[in-house]
């Protein structure tokens, strides 16, 4: 009997991590891959990145519009509602046996709600992490409670999912599937990367991604101003590659500041809506430091043995390698952390998020479930009894 597995992706970030999961589903006998896209993938403002998915040879089975052109709290909340309505229809049409979600975006909260009511089992990747500076934390744990299979990326996360009462036999620590892309990819060399970016790398190079910090009392634009002040002080021998922020509260203010900085940089900085997984990871392999508050600085950068300057509270609580330097979102603290990072020896750093074989294990487990619908009725498992 064939089994329909619907993978939902809402942004460049989760697509990069889901790529090899999607490929392995498509290659596995007895599984039928369905792909549903939503959120930033369908927005020209954020690069219309559905085209990247199609260019990679995947067929999109459902495109669900839901992202309002607004970065206010009201706009984001309405986007959740619109996306829920859209996926109620899409899931009824696709009728998947299992739906796969990764992470903690607000669009995925909408999908999980629709799937829960439609009685479609959810397989959740990367649950159990903590990111105390953003409301993503609450979304991630909420999706965990609505899910039936849990593919966590580390042992700390596994313990937290068990604390939420999930059945241990359905909680699997396979590591991050994003590392599978690194293991398989033929990355661009320096000359190819410069040509693709239209930017000449310099003596020192930084990859910068800074997203809104949705639970902080200080406006994210103020944090970004501190970061840009620190970057401006690096001088002419430093090239800076920016990737633009997500569609979160106050994201447009950050974007405007980046655009102004790049315009006035004299050609030493460039900003990109979305680089795609190959260009992004190629850039990471050639820069000296990864800077900002993106999870990629914690998940992927250690695999390249590159230091990460992690700014502020957005990733607070998440497991980190010894190559990660945490600092306050203040210009002096960021400058000091960057200077320290330039001198770090990361040659012995071990990535705590796995070995790059997560996708094979995840898909094998999806294929091995005897009856997906039997997962729907869950029993709360008291964590105290598991210790």
Q: Which of 6-20, 36-50, 351-365 has the lowest mean pLDDT?
A: 36-50
Rounded to the nearest 5 percent, the helix, strand and coil shares of the chain are 45, 15, 40
Structural domain contains residue 183: no
Cα 114 to Cα 64: distance, rounded to the nearest angstrom: 13
Q: Is the pLDDT confidence value at 305 over 90?
A: yes
Structural domain contains residue 351: no
Per-residue pLDDT tens digits for 210-219: 998 877 778 8
Same domain? For 171 and 43 the reply is yes
Q: Give residue 87's pLDDT.
A: 97
Q: In whole numbers, what is the pLDDT of the chain averaged over residues? A: 94
Q: Give residue 385's pLDDT.
A: 58
Cα 108 to Cα 120: distance, rounded to the nearest angstrom: 14
Same domain? For 84 and 204 the reply is no
Residue of 126, 147, 148 lying closest to 137 (CA atoms): 126
Confidence of residue 167 (pLDDT cuts 50, 70, 90): very high
Same domain? For 127 and 208 the reply is no
CATH code of the domain in which 260 resides: 3.40.50.2000
Q: Give residue 233's pLDDT.
A: 95
Residue of 281, 340, 276 lying closest to 307 (CA atoms): 340
Cα 347 to Cα 278: distance, rounded to the nearest angstrom: 23
Say how many C-beta atoms besides its own lie within 10 A of residue 185's C-beta.
15
Same domain? For 171 and 233 the reply is no
- Return the percentage of the chain with pLDDT > 90, whole number: 82
Q: Give residue 327's pLDDT.
A: 97
What is the tally of structural domains in the chain? 2
Same domain? For 162 and 194 the reply is no
Same domain? For 168 and 219 the reply is no
Same domain? For 111 and 80 the reply is yes
Structural domain contains residue 347: no
DSSP structure class, residue 134: S
Confidence of residue 76 (pLDDT cuts 50, 70, 90): confident
Same domain? For 97 and 246 the reply is no
Confidence of residue 248 (pLDDT cuts 50, 70, 90): confident
Say how many C-beta atoms besides its own lie within 10 A of residue 268's C-beta.
19
Same domain? For 102 and 207 the reply is no
70 or 200: which leads in pLDDT = 200
Residue of 349, 323, 317, 321 lying closest to 337 (CA atoms): 323
Structural domain contains residue 348: no
Q: Can you read off the two tokens belonging to residue 298?
A: 């914690």
Structural domain contains residue 273: yes
Q: Give residue 387's pLDDT.
A: 57
Same domain? For 24 and 99 the reply is yes
Bridge partners, residue 62, by sequence: 36
Bridge partners, residue 206, by sequence: 240, 289
Same domain? For 221 and 277 the reply is yes
Per-residue pLDDT tens digits for 348-375: 999 999 999 999 999 999 999 999 999 9
Structural domain contains residue 387: no
Decide: helix, strand or coil at residue 74.
helix
DSSP structure class, residue 133: T
Structural domain contains residue 386: no
254, 210 Cβ separation under 8 angstroms: yes
Mean pLDDT to the nearest integer, 2-11: 96
Tell me which residue range forms the domain holding 105: 3-177+356-381
Q: Is the pLDDT confidence value at 78 over 90?
A: yes
Cα 146 to Cα 270: distance, rounded to the nearest angstrom: 40
Q: What distance separates the 2 farthest-apart alpha carbons in the chain?
A: 62
Say how many C-beta atoms besides its own lie within 10 A of residue 72's C-beta.
12
Per-residue burial over 165-179, b if 16 or more Cβ lie within 10 Å, else e, is ebbeebbbbbbbbbb
> Which position has the token pair 């970004």?
224
Mean pLDDT to the nearest integer, 278-299: 96
318 or 44: which leads in pLDDT = 318
Q: Which of 19-23, 42-46, 117-121, 261-265 has the lowest mean pLDDT?
A: 42-46
Q: pTM of the entire structure?
A: 0.88
User: 56-70, 80-94, 242-256: which has the highest mean pLDDT?
Assistant: 80-94
Q: Give residue 308's pLDDT.
A: 98
Same domain? For 286 and 232 the reply is yes
Q: Is the pLDDT confidence value at 46 over 90?
A: no
């Amino acid at each position: 009997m064939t089994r329909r597995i619907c993978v939902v992706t809402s942004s460049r970030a989760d697509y990069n991590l889901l790529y090899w999961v999607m490929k392995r589903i498509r290659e596995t006998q007895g599984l039928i891959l369905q792909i549903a896209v939503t959120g930033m993938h369908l927005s020209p403002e954020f690069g219309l990145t559905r085209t990247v998915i199609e260019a990679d040879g995947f067929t999109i089975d459902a495109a669900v519009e839901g992202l309002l052109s607004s970065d206010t709290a009201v706009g984001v909340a309405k986007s959740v509602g619109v996306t829920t309505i859209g996926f109620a229809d899409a899931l009824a049409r696709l009728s998947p046996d299992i739906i796969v979600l990764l992470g903690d975006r607000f669009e995925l909260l909408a999908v999980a709600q629709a799937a829960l009511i439609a009685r479609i089992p959810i397989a959740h990747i990367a649950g159990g992490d903590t990111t105390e500076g953003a409301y993503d934390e609450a979304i991630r744990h909420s999706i965990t409670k609505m899910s039936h299979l849990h593919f966590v990326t580390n042992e700390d996360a596994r313990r937290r999912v068990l604390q939420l009462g999930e059945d241990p036999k359905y909680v699997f620590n396979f590591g991050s599937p994003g590392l599978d892309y690194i293991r398989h990819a033929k990355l661009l060399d320096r000359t190819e990367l410069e040509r693709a970016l239209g930017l000449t790398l310099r003596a020192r190079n930084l990859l910068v991604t800074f997203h809104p910090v949705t639970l902080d009392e200080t406006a994210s634009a103020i944090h970004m101003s501190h970061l840009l002040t620190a970057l401006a002080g690096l001088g002419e021998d430093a090239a800076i590659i920016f990737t633009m922020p997500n569609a979160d509260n106050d994201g447009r203010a950050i974007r405007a500041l980046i655009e102004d900085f790049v315009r006035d940089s004299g050609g030493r900085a460039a900003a990109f809506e979305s680089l795609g997984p190959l260009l992004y990871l190629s850039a990471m392999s050639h820069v000296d430091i990864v800077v900002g508050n993106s999870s990629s600085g914690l998940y992927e950068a250690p695999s390249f043995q590159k230091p990460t300057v992690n700014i502020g509270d957005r990733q607070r609580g998440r497991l980190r390698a010894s190559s990660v330097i945490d600092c306050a979102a203040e210009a002096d603290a960021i400058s000091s952390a960057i200077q320290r990072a330039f001198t770090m020896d990361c040659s012995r750093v071990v990535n705590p998020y796995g070995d790059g074989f997560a996708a094979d294990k995840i898909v094998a487990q999806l294929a091995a479930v005897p009856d997906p619908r039997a997962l729907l009725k869950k029993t709360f498992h008291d964590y105290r009894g598991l210790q």
